[in-house]
Amino acid sequence: MPPVPHRGGPNGANQGPVNFKALDKTTFRRLMSYLFSYKKTLLVVLFCILISSLTSVIGTMFLQIIIDDYIQPLMTQSAPVLTGLMKVIGTMAIIYMAGVVASLFQGIFMARISQGVLKTIRDEMFSHMQTLPIRYFDTHTHGDIMSHYTNDTDTLRQMITQSIPNLFSSGITIIAVFVAMLITSPILTVFVIISIFSMLLFTKFVGGKSATYFVGQQRSLGAMNGYIEEMIQGQKVVKVFCHEEKNKEEFDRRNEELCENATLANIYANILMPIMANLGNLQYVLIAILGGALAIVSGGQLMTLGGIATFLNLSKSFTRPVSQISQQINSVITALAGAQRIFHLLDEESEKDNGYVTLVNAKYTDGGQLVETPEHTGLWAWKHPHEDGTLTYVPLRGDVRFLDVDFAYEEGKTVLHNVSLYAKPGQKIAFVGATGAGKTTITNLINRFYDIADGKIRYDNININKIKKPDLRHSLGIVLQDVNLFTGTVMDNIRYGKLDATDEECIAAAKLANAHDFIMMLPEGYQTVLSGDGSGLSQGQRQLLSIARAAVADPPVMILDEATSSIDTRTESIVQRGMDQLMHGRTAFVIAHRLSTVQNADAIMVLEQGRIIERGSHEDLIAQHGQYYQLYTGAFELE
C-alpha cells in the first residue's frame, strides 16, 4: 500500500469555512480572466443588462409623468384630449419592448459564457490533474479531489450564471434609481439612504447569526451522515451483535443535536425575508407620510402627488437591489472559496520530466548496427543524445540496477536505506517483508512515481532520470494488487495496455493471461460492458484482466503486486499460472504476499524497515535460517 502521510491533514483544512480576507483579489481577477476570453459576447451581455436595468428604472419614472403631466391636468378639463397621453404610453411600450428583448438576449448569451467558462475550467482541471505526480494523489483523499469537480464547480456555476449578472444589474439599478430619486426629491433620498443603512445593519446581524448556526448545522449534518454511512455499511455486523437498540440510542442523540442546530439556523434564515420585506414596507409608509407632509406643507413646491408616487416606487426599486446584493455577497464568497480551491489544484506543480532519452523502434542494419526506424519492428532501443551532439542507440533489454538508493516520502523520514540490487534481463526478483517494509516503495521508484533522494537507478545502464517518463513507463508493465478497471467493454479494458492493439492481439493476451476462458463465459464475451470498476467480476477475474492488460502492452520489465485478499484456491492457481506466463522471458519484480509464489524467483529480497536484510535464492535463504526461514515456517505473518 502506498503510504498516506497526511490523512485528513492539510487537505482536510481547505474544506472549512473561508475567511473573506483570505481570498485575495487575484482569485477574483483570475476568475474574471476566464470570462474575459468571451470579450465580445460579454460586451453584448453587459449592454443588455444595462438596457434592461435602465428600462425598469425609466418605467418607474414614467408613472410620475402620466399622473403629473396628464392625469392631473386632464382630469379637470371637460373635454380632455388623450392623444398626448397615448403618445407617452406608446413610447413607454417601445422602451419596455427593448427591455424585454435585452433580457432575452442577456439570458441566451450569458448561458453560452457561463457554460463555456465552466467547461474550460473542468477541462483544465482534468488535464492538469493528469500531469500531477502520484504524490499528489497519495496525499489528497479522492473525496477532496472529487469535490473540486462537483461542489466547487457548482458554486462557480451559481456565481457566474446568477450572482455576477445580478450584481451588475443591481449596481446599475442602484445608481440609476439613486439619480432618479435625487431628481425627484433630495430630502426623501436622504431619508431612504438612512433607512437602508439601518436595514443593512439589521440584516448583517441576523445574517451573521444565521451563518454561525448554518456552520453548526453543516457540521452536525456531516457528522450525522458519516455516522449513518458507517453504521449502514456495518449493518450486518450490527445485526449479528444485536446492537440495534444501542445504535438507536446513539442515533437519536445525534439526531436531536442536528435538529436543534437545524432549527436555529433555519429560524434565522426564515425570518430574514419577512423582516427585510416589512422593513421595506415600513420605509414605504414612512416615505408616504413624509412625502405627503412635504407636499402639503410646501403646497406642491417641494413635492408633487406624482412625485410621491414615483418616489414610493423608486424606493422599492432601490431596496430590492440592495438586499439582493447583500444576499449575493454570500454566494460570491462561497464561490470564490471554491474557485480558490480549483485554482489551487490548477497551480499544483506538474510532474517534472527532464528526461531526454527516448524509446524508439529500431532495427539492425546489415552491418549489425542498431539504427532508428519509423516502422514497427518489435525491436526497441533507447535513443540517447549526448552532450557532444552524438547519438547512441542502446537496445531495450530490461536490465535494472539499484545502487545505494535512499528514499523518503517526507523529508527526514527515510523509508529506504542503501538499497542495492540488480535484475538482469529475464530475471525474477521477489520482495518479501511485512507491511511498511518498503516493498511497494521500491516499485514506485522504478517507474518514477517518486524520485529517489540519493543513489542511482540504472535501466539498461542509463540513469533513469535521463529517460523521458512516458518512454520509461512504456517499457514497464504493471499489475497492481488493487485492480482498477474502467467503464467499457472487456476488450476496451484489455486494449488499455496498447491502444492500437487489434482484437486478435487482445485475445492472444487474454489467452496468455489465462483470462480467455472466463471471458468467454461472460454473457457478451469480450464485448461485455463492465461498469463501476468491474464490480460484476470476482477478485480473481479482475486480476486476470489486469494481467491481460499488461500482457498486451508487452513490455520487457514487469512489476507485479500480488493481491492480498483471499481468492479461492482454484482461481488462485489460475491467476498464478497467468502471472507465471506473463513473467516468462521478462525481467519481473514481484511483491509477494504468499511465500508459495516466490520460490522460483532468481533472487528473493527480504525487507525490513526499508533495508534489505537477506537476499538470495529460496534454497540459500532457507539454509541461512534467518528471517525468511522464520517467515517460511510460519513464525511470522506477512501482512
Partner 1 sequence: MIKRLSACIREYKRDTILSPIYVTLEVVMDVLIPLLMAKLIDNGVDKGDLSYIVKMGLILVVCCIVSLTFGALSGRSAAIASAGFGKNLRHDLYHHVQDFSFTNIDNFSTASLVTRMTTDVTNVQNSFQMLIRIAVRCPIMLIFALVMAFQINASLAWIFLVVLPILAVGLALMMTKVHPIFKRVFKTYDKLNSVVQENLRGIRVVKSFVREDHEIKKFDKVSSQIYSDFKKAEILISLNNPLMNFCVYACMIMISWMGAKLIITSHGSSMTTGELMSMISYIMQILMSLMMVSMVFMMIIMARASAERISQVLTEEPSIEDPVNPVMQVPDGSISFEDVVFSYARHAEHPVLDHINLEIHSGETIGIIGGTGSSKSSLVQLIPRLYDVTSGCVKVGGIDVRNYDLETLRNEVAMVLQKNVLFSGTIKENLRWGNENATDEELVHVCQLAQADSFIRQFPKGYDTYIEQGGSNVSGGQRQRLCIARALLKKPKILILDDSTSAVDTKTDALIRKAFATEIPDTTKLIIAQRISSVQDADKILVLDNGKIGAFGTHEELLATNTIYREVYESQTRKEDR
CB of 422 to partner 1, least distance (A): 22
Instruction: Classify residue 534 by burial, with Cβ atoms within 10 Å: 0-12, 13-18, 19+.
Output: buried
Nearer to partner 1, 17 or 222 (CB): 222
Integer distance in angstroms from the first to the last C-alpha of the chain?
11
Q: Which three cell numbers stand for residue 65?
A: 409623468
CB atoms within 10 A of CB 443: 20
Site residues for partner 1, window 284-323 (CB under 8 A)?
284-286, 288-289, 291-293, 295-297, 305, 308-309, 312-313
Give DSSP secondary structure letters for 10-79: HHHHTTS---GGGS-HHHHHHHHHHHHTTHHHHHHHHHHHHHHHHHHHHHHHHHHHIIIIIIHHHHH-SS
**Mask of contacts with partner 1, 472-491, x by CB under 8 A?**
-xx-xxx-x---xxxx----
- Ramachandran sector of residue 592 (left: φ over 0; alpha: ψ -120 to 50; beta: rest): beta
CB of 407 to partner 1, least distance (A): 17
CB of 202 to partner 1, least distance (A): 11
Asked if residue 243 binds partner 1 (CB under 8 A), the reply is yes
Site residues for partner 1, window 55-84 (CB under 8 A)?
59, 62-63, 66-67, 70-72, 74-77, 80, 82
Helix (H, G, I), strand (E, B) or coil at 488: strand
Q: How far apart are CA 399 and CA 213, in angstroms?
A: 63
- Ramachandran sector of residue 608 (left: φ over 0; alpha: ψ -120 to 50; beta: rest): beta
- Contact pick of 189, 203, 340, 447 for partner 1 (by CB under 8 A): 447
104's enclosing H/E stretch is helix 83-131
Q: Given strand 358-364, what is the order of strands in its sheet?
A: 370-372, 358-364, 380-385, 391-395
CB of 23 to partner 1, least distance (A): 25
CB of 86 to partner 1, least distance (A): 8
Site residues for partner 1, window 488-507 (CB under 8 A)?
496-497, 499
Tell me, by CB under 8 A, how many residues bind partner 1: 161
Nearer to partner 1, 123 or 372 (CB): 123
CB of 284 to partner 1, least distance (A): 7
Distances (CA, A) of 599 to 155, 512, 560, 616, 624: 56, 22, 15, 11, 15
- Contact pick of 87, 112, 253, 577 for partner 1 (by CB under 8 A): 112
The window from 32-40, 170-178, 277-285, 366-374 that contacts partner 1 (CB under 8 A) reads 277-285
Instruction: Give the residue among 189, 210, 328, 190 at the shortest CA–CA distance from 275.
Output: 210
Nearer to partner 1, 190 or 282 (CB): 282
Q: How far apart are CA 59 and CA 69, in angstroms?
A: 15
Distances (CA, A) of 265 to 223, 225, 633: 17, 18, 63
Instruction: Classify residue 160 by burial, with Cβ atoms within 10 Å: 0-12, 13-18, 19+.
Output: buried
Q: Which three cell numbers stand for residue 288?
A: 408616504
**Mask of contacts with partner 1, 566-605, x by CB under 8 A?**
xxxxxx-x----------------------x---------
CB of 295 to partner 1, least distance (A): 6
Asked if residue 194 binds partner 1 (CB under 8 A), the reply is no
**Mask of contacts with partner 1, 16-55, x by CB under 8 A?**
------------------------------------x---
Residue the block writes with cell 451573521: 208
CB of 487 to partner 1, least distance (A): 6
| DSSP β-ladder status, 462-463 and 454-459 | antiparallel
Q: Give helix 186-233 / helix 164-184 axis angle, nearest 10°.
A: 160
CA atoms within 13 A on the CB side of 170: 17
Instruction: Give the residue among 594, 568, 615, 358 at the shortest CA–CA distance from 475.
Output: 358
Nearer to partner 1, 64 or 189 (CB): 64
**Mask of contacts with partner 1, 244-263, x by CB under 8 A?**
xxxxx--xx--xx-xxx-xx
Nearer to partner 1, 166 or 404 (CB): 166
Site residues for partner 1, window 325-364 (CB under 8 A)?
none
Nearer to partner 1, 452 or 550 (CB): 550
Nearer to partner 1, 307 or 610 (CB): 307
Nearer to partner 1, 22 or 223 (CB): 223
CB of 370 to partner 1, least distance (A): 24
**Mask of contacts with partner 1, 149-168, x by CB under 8 A?**
xx----------x-------
CB of 412 to partner 1, least distance (A): 20
Site residues for partner 1, window 373-432 (CB under 8 A)?
none
Asked if residue 370 binds partner 1 (CB under 8 A), the reply is no
CB of 418 to partner 1, least distance (A): 26
CA atoms within 13 A on the CB side of 186: 0
- Contact pick of 37, 198, 435, 461 for partner 1 (by CB under 8 A): 435
Nearer to partner 1, 47 or 364 (CB): 47
Site residues for partner 1, window 451-470 (CB under 8 A)?
469-470
Give DSSP secondary structure letters for 387-446: TTS-EEEEE----EEEEEEEEEEETTEEEEEEEEEEE-TT-EEEEEE-TTSSHHHHHHHH
CB of 367 to partner 1, least distance (A): 33
CB of 575 to partner 1, least distance (A): 13
223's enclosing H/E stretch is helix 186-233
CB atoms within 10 A of CB 39: 9
Nearer to partner 1, 23 or 554 (CB): 554
CB of 485 to partner 1, least distance (A): 8
Site residues for partner 1, window 118-147 (CB under 8 A)?
118-119, 122-123, 126-127, 129-131, 134, 137, 142, 145-146
Q: Amino acid letter at 162? A: Q
Nearer to partner 1, 103 or 189 (CB): 103
- Contact pick of 269, 346, 408, 522 for partner 1 (by CB under 8 A): 269
**Mask of contacts with partner 1, 196-235, x by CB under 8 A?**
-------------------------x--xxx-xxxxxxxx
Helix (H, G, I), strand (E, B) or coil at 632: helix
Kindly report the length of the chain. Answer: 639
